[in-house]
Amino acid sequence: MNTISVKNLSKTFESYKKTPGLAGSFKALFSREKIFKKAVDDISFEIKEGELVGFLGPNGAGKTTTLKMLAGILYPTSGEAKILGYTPWERKNEYKKQFAFVMGQKSQLWWDLPAMETFILNREIYEIDKKSFERTLEELTELLGIGDIIKIPVRNLSLGQRMKCEIVASLIHSPKVLFLDEPTIGLDVIAQKKMRDFIKHYNEERRTTIILTSHYMEDIGALCKRVIIINLGKIIYDGPIASLIEKYAPYKVLKITFEKEVKKSDLEKFGKVSVFNGDVFNIEVPRKESARIAAEILNKFPVDDILIDEPEIRDIIRLIFGKGKV
Q: What is the pLDDT of residue 324?
A: 52
What is the chain's mean pLDDT, rounded?
87
pTM (two decimals) = 0.79
Q: What is the pLDDT of residue 61?
A: 85
Q: Which architecture, in CATH terms, is 250-309?
A: 2-Layer Sandwich (3.30)
d(CA 122, CA 275): 51
Q: What is the pLDDT of residue 203?
A: 92
Element (H, E) at 30: helix 21-30
- H helices of 105-258, in order, are 115-125, 130-144, 159-171, 189-206, 217-223, 241-248
18-22, 81-85, 284-288: least confident range: 18-22
Closest CA to 177 of 103, 98, 102: 98
2-8+47-245 CATH fold:
Rossmann fold (3.40.50)
**222-231: pLDDT as tens digits:** 889 899 999 8
CA–centroid distance for 317 within its chain? 13
More confident of the two residues 141 and 29? 141
Asked if the model's pLDDT at residue 160 lies above 90, the reply is: no
Give the pLDDT band of residue 152 (cuts 50, 70, 90): very high
Give the pLDDT band of residue 137 (cuts 50, 70, 90): very high
Asked if the model's pLDDT at residue 7 lies above 80, the reply is: yes
**185-224: pLDDT as tens digits:** 777 778 888 888 999 999 999 999 999 988 777 788 888 9
- What ranges do the domains of the chain cover? 2-8+47-245, 250-309
d(CA 77, CA 11): 5
**What percent of the chain is modeled with pLDDT above 70?**
96
d(CA 73, CA 8): 18
**What percent of the chain is modeled with pLDDT above 90?**
44
First to last CA, the chain: 28
Q: What is the pLDDT of residue 317?
A: 74
**List of residues 6+ apart from 137 with CB closer than 8 A:** 119, 168, 172
Phi, psi for residue 269 in degrees, rounded to 5? -70, -15
**38-74: pLDDT as tens digits:** 999 999 999 999 999 999 888 888 999 999 999 999 9
Q: What is the pLDDT of residue 42?
A: 93
Give the pLDDT band of residue 325 (cuts 50, 70, 90): low
Give the pLDDT band of residue 26 (cuts 50, 70, 90): low
Q: What is the pLDDT of residue 316?
A: 75
